[in-house]
Amino acid sequence: MAENDGLTQLILDDRIRGRSYAEIELKHGIPAIEAMAMVREALESTTMRDPIEMRGIVMLRTEKIIEHLWAGLEQGSFKHGEAIIKALERLSELLDLNQETIRQEITIISDEETLQIFEVLKRSNALLRQKLDALPLPESAVRALEAWPEWVAETTTTAVEEVLYLDETDNVYK
């Protein structure tokens, strides 16, 4: 298996360098269709599904490319300078996209979780009320429980205000 992994890596390296599957077949003696299947399988198993992680890795690779181009720029190569400028522009795009994506993902998660939390609170209040109703309470306590809906509304409003105040002062989600 490890030998096959080594061959797969050699084939991947050849594809990265721009070799065709016909060239790979000649070089490694692997039928082109088999080499293609090996590349696809390797890429499927290593493909990142997390866009933030992928952007981070692309950013690090771009920085590495810039590092290698820098010596050429210092020797006066305008081509190296142009490539560095393009790479820096790409880095700038990645950073902007990364920040926007993070904000959007937090918003999406917060919206979904808000609905779930609201449903949990509603059920929790209903279950608490059922437990209170099942208790043998004195008449004065039963009369006081008539204010339950107002208590729920008041405590919920207070909790929301406290959470919103916390978010505004700490800039947690902004």
pLDDT tens digits for range 98-117: 555 556 655 665 677 777 88
pLDDT band at 142 (very low <50, low <70, confident <90, very high): confident
The dihedral through the CA atoms of 50, 56, 59, 61 has a sign that is negative
pLDDT mean over 118-123: 84
Model confidence at 162: pLDDT above 60 = yes
Q: How far apart are CA 97 and CA 38, in angstroms?
A: 32
Q: Is 138 left (phi over 0), alpha (psi -120 to 50) or beta?
A: beta
Tokens representing 154 are: 């008041």
The 3-state DSSP class for residue 34 equals helix
Query: pTM to 2 decimals?
Result: 0.35
Residues 6 or more apart whose Cβ sits within 8 Å of residue 145? 129, 132, 133, 137
For residue 9, which of 58, 56, 43, 32 has the smallest C-alpha distance? 43
